[in-house]
Amino acid sequence: MAHNEDSADEGVVSTHKVEAIVAILVLLFGLGVLYGSRTLGSGWTSDGPGPGYFPFYIGLILCISGAGTLLRALYFGDRNTEPFVDRAQLKRVLSVLLPAVVYVFMVQMVGLYLASTVYIALFMVILGHYSWFKSAGVAVVVNALFFFMFEVWFKVPLYKGQFNPLSVFGY
């Protein structure tokens, strides 16, 4: 929900700020649910409670809890000024998160097996400092295992991508 990437150049963001941002997002989500359920009809219709009847109260709870957390984070006793993440931690988290985003994008394009092989190999080379040879070996073995497990034994086809490179092998 909340991104805290901007903290890399600001230095470190403190926990109560992240707390407040997340609380605001909860509040906005609640308002969205309230709006959505109002337009659906949250009242009483001729044949019983309308489709927005239950979500309306859920939206209300979301707003209350979002507002409550926001107030506590900003004004009241349990204000946590400790850093949410330090720079090294953020770098480590992003070094997993950003490649994962790229990976899912690649899955969309070339399919799961190929993307996973490249992803595991690159992850090992760049973050684990393994040799290319070893990384490629592990990546291929792991994905061959997945391939046989899903396509061959359990017959659960996985995503082959918009440009299906494996189609040459008949899969």
Partner 1 sequence: MDEFSALFHGFSVILTPMNLLLMLVGILLGVLIGVLPGLGGANGVAILLPLTFTMSPTSAIIMLSCIYWGALFGGAITSILFNIPGEPWSVATTFDGYPMAQKGQAGAALTTAFTSSFVGAFVAVVMITFLAPLVAKFALKFGPPEFFAVYLLTFCSFVGMGKGSPFKILASMAIGFALAAVGMDTVTGQLRLTFGIPDLMRGFDFLIAVIGLFGIGEILLSMEEGLAFSGKSAKIDPRVVWQTWKQLPQYWVTSVRSALVGIWMGITPGGATPASFMSYGLAKKMSKSGDNFGKGQIEGVIAPETAAHAAGTSALLPMLALGIPGSPTAAVLLGGLLIWGLQPGPLLFVEQKDFVWGLIASMYLGNLVGLLVVLTTVPLFASILRIPFSIIAPVIVVICAIGAYTVHSAMLDVWLMLLFGLIGYLFKKLDYPLAPLVLALVLGDKAEDSLRQAMLVSQGSMTIMWSNPLVGSITTLALVMLFWPLLSRLLAKIRPPKAKAFQAEQPVD
Q: Provide, rounded to whole angstroms, the least separation between the CB of residue 44 and partner 1.
A: 6
Residue type present at position 35: Y
Give contact residues for partner 1 (rule: CB under 8 A). Answer: 1-2, 15, 18-19, 22, 26, 29-30, 33, 36-37, 40, 44, 48-55, 58-59, 61-62, 64-66, 68-69, 72, 78, 84-85, 88-89, 92-93, 95-97, 100-101, 103-104, 107-108, 112, 116, 119-120, 123-124, 127-128, 130, 138, 142-143, 146, 150, 154-159
Question: What does the alpha-carbon distance between residue 70 and residue 47 come to, in Å, rounded to a whole number?
Answer: 39
Alpha helices per DSSP H over 11-111: 15-40, 53-74, 87-110
Nearest residue (CB) to partner 1, 146 versus 171 = 146
Q: Provide, rounded to whole angstroms, the least separation between the CB of residue 170 and partner 1.
A: 19
Question: What does the alpha-carbon distance between residue 41 and residue 59 come to, in Å, rounded to a whole number?
Answer: 14
Q: Which of 134, 133, 139, 94 has its CA nearest to residue 118?
A: 139
